[in-house]
Amino acid sequence: MHYVSTRDSEGAGVFTLSEAIHRGLAPDGGLFVPRAMPRLNIEDFEGANDPAEIAAVLLAPFFDGDPLAAELPAICAETFTFPLPVLELDGGPAVLELFHGPTAAFKDVGARFLAACTQRLETDADGPLTILVATSGDTGSAVAAAFHHRPGIEVVILFPAGLVSARQAQLLSCWDDNVRSFSVDGAFDDCQRMVKAAFADADITAARRLSSANSINIGRLLPQMVYYAMATLRAARQGQPPPGFIIPSGNLGNAFACLMTREVGLPVGEILLATNANLTVAEFMDSGDWRPRVSVPTLASAMDVGDPSNMERVFWRYRDHAGVSDAFAAVSIDDAAIRETISAGPARWHQVWCPHTATAVRAWERMPAADQARGWVLVATAHPAKFNDIVEPLIGEPVPVPAAMQQLLSLPARAETLPPDSTALSARLLGI
């Protein structure tokens, strides 16, 4: 299996998976994608039941011929050490809970997988590798937890000051040793722009070996396919029709992972993206006009993205508005609807939703009854305790904090401040 850039229309530049993981971005600034999509079917997963076993089967074709191929089962076993349960709601959809990892968000899986791959690739490295990551809330803490104390690897995190929850900010800032956090006086899009500029800066790339841990990195994206393979296999083994998925979406990495799962041949049904008041994707689906813009702050802060990077992968695969519209749909859920959904959650569903999961719940609730009955899985992306300042006033009671998260909340915060200026980041990277 080889990987090419989304911007290489001829497929002339080919890379191994290990090279793609290490580089993060392609040399031309594009995102790495498989040169050809492998094909699998339900029968290939016979005997694979737990997430690590399913992951090893699903991802083997993507590792074919790579130096990491022999390590894949061990990488999967190291990554999938916590449950990914599917909850059946009484009279409603199923809910795929992806927040049982160490930082209580779905991004723990991708970050741990990427860290396990990177550590194995760094055994003969010349000098440290710098993992540079922009985060709108959850990615940074998952990456920090996954790479913390790993020798030969440094992590630099950028997050927008005041635009993440207090607990998210703490989880982004509580690290020491090889992890350094910067609170940027700007939006997530500023953080993302600064990271991309660093990769394009010849002085920085000459001085430091850089890699990414955002969903722009193919090593973050591939393991997220396991979520959808698991839920699809579960439905098939129970004699149910292919499930549809409603996915809270910001930078579209999780959404593209679901699309890839369908592309390899597994029976994934309809895909609906639930976005917040950042309207770039939803407006494109309605009008066909792609108009990235500055993000606006919402209650679902980890989805506050005005120019989602993974749309480049979507356009690479589906080309134009007609092709994208055939692949998925998208709806926008505003803050008022998020509040209403969280408030009603305990009485209606006996559930407490985080603001991001609430967008998926509301998207399902807005469907006509006939559409609701088609069999949907809502993707619960974060634990509500990460957003206690939003959730608790709405439901009128405290949200229990998972033990692993409570431990991180007790640590001192160490974030440094940065202006939303690429030169400021360059100076810090060159001075580290």
For the segment 162-176, the average pLDDT, to the nearest whole number, is: 93
CA distances (Å), origin 352, targets 37, 53, 355, 396 = 38, 31, 10, 11
Residue 183: pLDDT over 90: yes
Output the pLDDT for position 383.
96
Q: What SS3 class is residue 304?
A: coil
The angle, 0 to 180 degrees and rounded to 10, between the axes of the packed helices 72-79 and 51-63 is 140
Are 142 and 217 spatial neighbours (Cβ–Cβ below 8 Å)? no
Residue 432: pLDDT over 80: no
For the segment 425-430, the average pLDDT, to the nearest whole number, is: 93
* 6-52: pLDDT as tens digits: 999 887 799 999 999 988 889 898 999 999 999 999 999 999 999 99
* 75-100: pLDDT as tens digits: 999 999 999 999 999 999 999 999 99
Q: What SS3 class is residue 316?
A: helix
Sequence ranges of the domains in the chain: 82-106+221-401
* 302-311: pLDDT as tens digits: 899 999 999 9
The DSSP 8-state label assigned to residue 222 in this structure reads G
* 95-152: pLDDT as tens digits: 999 999 999 999 999 999 999 999 999 876 678 899 999 988 788 999 999 999 999 9
CATH code: domain 82-106+221-401 is 3.40.50.1100
- Among the listed ranges 162-176, 205-219, 413-427, which one has the minimum average pLDDT value? 205-219
Which band of pLDDT confidence, cut at 50, 70 and 90, is reported for residue 408? very high
* 342-361: pLDDT as tens digits: 999 999 999 999 999 999 99
* Average of per-residue pLDDT values in the chain: 95
CA dihedral 68, 73, 77, 79 (to 10 degrees): 40
Output the pLDDT for position 136.
81
